[in-house]
Chain A
């Protein structure tokens, strides 16, 4: 389907697609198997200006937004959802700086992030605060011109690899969710260490680590937005980044569908290609329909975000759920189409199925996303009744 990309957007897509095919695909299985963080690919993406696409021009970006980021994530994910995540998670860390950063903070960080020289990360989750993000206990105690941070963030993508972290911490625990703030912490700050790298089911080329704060002192000027706005920063960031997760799901699913169709055409059983069996044809048709519907929604949501539409939380959640649920079904069916070969590590299918799963879990599980969608429905209904 034609989504009427501008010439520049088409250029972005072509550039990302070429890197996916020529640079990422040949490494995908090895990096997954060995859990190698793709610094070499990050360099290629940076040199190609791909980190610039969603960063404002004043800070060495190319001035695009969620849509441009989504196209890149989708293309890269066709080859490897894990490697693509180094890019997407940096985006997640960059969005709050764009949305809430002071001029000074933007000038300090965005140009280096735009070039791909350094990566960013975003840290909200803790061992006892997942879906219930208001339960976070990592503290940032005001002390003169500084905050003194203590606590542990868990499962932080790009942890240990990124240079700059947006960390949501309690600056005033007595106020609960209203007492949290978003604080930029640079790698190497005394008292800021990393835990072990997690051994994961999928997206294994992505690094997931704990962030450990022990009397870590950061200046108050590192705060993004006002004190007490931490939760808001997190929610607004997710509203913008969810199309990125949706795009990751779309890419993985498209990669799986393309491979499944190609395989079904050449695999012969009962004297003819298995693609000639209606049982598989119906499956492929369903995969394609779900994928295209999810893509249409994701693109439109991203365009809404970039056009500055207010209250995108509901539609942003819809795109994330629709695309990630579709990706899980599509990759599972793609394994099915490959039969036993699909189950073997020599083929990319089982990896794509493992990679797809995370998109239903992170940046808010699909259950939590459905809650967000329902809350909007209910609020809207109440508003209509007055």
Chain B
């Protein structure tokens, strides 16, 4: 069974800055990393392979330098890495991106499971996982926090909700996206790094995938970004300090001056 992990190279946002005039990310000097949520997807893929066997293929769309991210995936234990790179892919929104990834996955054989992070930390849409699933007409489950059972036929997993989780059983092939609770990603080993240096990164272009150019990249993207801006910081709150009796009195007084009707609340 082929286990595919889709990864995205993103700027390391732990030290990101925004140009206040253009409102765009300042990319110079910012290190590129694998989207952190995708690291959990890679780790889970490796664990599944270690448990039930199979092959892990790392897949990414992007400019040639994304090969570095794919090498990292190999250093962690992925068996194969495929880079989708072509000028025609540039400027893709989540629709065109998922269409392209889906096209690439269609070229692969014996697909059992496709894993992704729940979202990318640069775009934060969370749409590509479900998007690929729709393009491939495959089922998907997002936000998985635990895989309880997995075989080549079916998966039993827990899907994180705001107030609990759903326990789901589904047939393979399927697309899943994972949250950070699912595991603790391993660090690359020396042997892995050495293998990654030598590994061949397979490159596919638009022609090979066989999707018409008007359906991919900027041409195939229905979304248009009109403006990016930093939302104004919400105004600072007020903290009342002291004994509860005093602070409650202060709060009531404040609400009153603010013109808020205190209804049945009694002042003492």
Which residues of A are in contact with B by a Cβ distance under 8 Å?
Answer: 8, 11-12, 15, 18-19, 22-23, 44, 47-50, 52-53, 62
Contacts and interface: CB of A to CB of B under 8 A. Distances in A.
B232 to A, nearest CB: 29
Interface string B177-211: 00000000011111111100000000000000000
Contacts of B187: 15, 18-19, 22-23, 44, 47-48
B18 to A, nearest CB: 25
The 6 closest A-B pairs by CB, nearest first: A49-B190, A49-B189, A48-B189, A49-B191, A11-B193, A15-B190
B70 to A, nearest CB: 18
A64 to B, nearest CB: 10
Most central of A11, A53, A62 by chain B CB within 10 Å: A11
Contacts of A50: 190
Contacts of A47: 186-187, 189
Contacts of B194: 8, 11
Contacts of A53: 190
Contacts of B186: 47
Contacts of A18: 187
B58 to A, nearest CB: 19
Nearest to A53: B190
A44 B185 CA distance: 11
Given A11-B194, A49-B191, 19 more contacts: A11-B190, A12-B190, A15-B187, A15-B188, A15-B190, A15-B193, A18-B187, A22-B187, A44-B187, A47-B186, A48-B188, A48-B190, A49-B189, A49-B190, A50-B190, A52-B190, A52-B191, A62-B190, A62-B191
B196 to A, nearest CB: 10
Contacts of A15: 187-190, 193
5 contacts: A8-B194, A47-B186, A47-B187, A49-B189, A49-B191
Contacts of B191: 49, 52, 62
Query: For the complex, would chain A's binding face be called helix, strand, loop or mixed by DSSP majority?
Result: helix
A44 to B, nearest CB: 7
Nearest to A19: B187
A87 to B, nearest CB: 14
Contacts of B188: 15, 48
Query: For the complex, would chain B's binding face be called helix, strand, loop or mixed by DSSP majority?
Result: helix
A317 to B, nearest CB: 30
Nearest to B186: A47
A75 B114 CA distance: 37
A212 to B, nearest CB: 37
Nearest to A16: B190
A325 to B, nearest CB: 32
Contacts of B193: 11, 15
Nearest to A7: B197
A287 B191 CA distance: 36
Contacts of A19: 187
A8 B198 CA distance: 13
A62 B186 CA distance: 20
Contacts of A8: 194
A18 B190 CA distance: 12
Contacts of A23: 187
Contacts of B190: 11-12, 15, 48-50, 52-53, 62
A62 B195 CA distance: 13
A52 B194 CA distance: 13
Nearest to A12: B190
B49 to A, nearest CB: 16
A8 B190 CA distance: 9
Nearest to B193: A11
Nearest to A14: B193
A46 to B, nearest CB: 9
Nearest to A46: B189
Contacts of A44: 187
Contacts of B189: 15, 47-49
A48 B190 CA distance: 6
Interface in B228-254: none
B93 to A, nearest CB: 34
Interface string B95-113: 0000000000000000000
B197 to A, nearest CB: 8
Contacts of B192: 49
Nearest to A68: B190
A117 to B, nearest CB: 14
A336 B186 CA distance: 38
Contacts of A62: 190-191
B14 to A, nearest CB: 13
A11 B192 CA distance: 11
Contacts of A22: 187
Interface in B20-42: none
Nearest to B192: A49
A12 B191 CA distance: 10
A22 B36 CA distance: 15
A48 B189 CA distance: 4
B8 to A, nearest CB: 21
A18 B185 CA distance: 13
Most central of B186, B187, B190, B191 by chain A CB within 10 Å: B190
B252 to A, nearest CB: 40
A51 to B, nearest CB: 10
Nearest to A11: B193
A52 B215 CA distance: 50
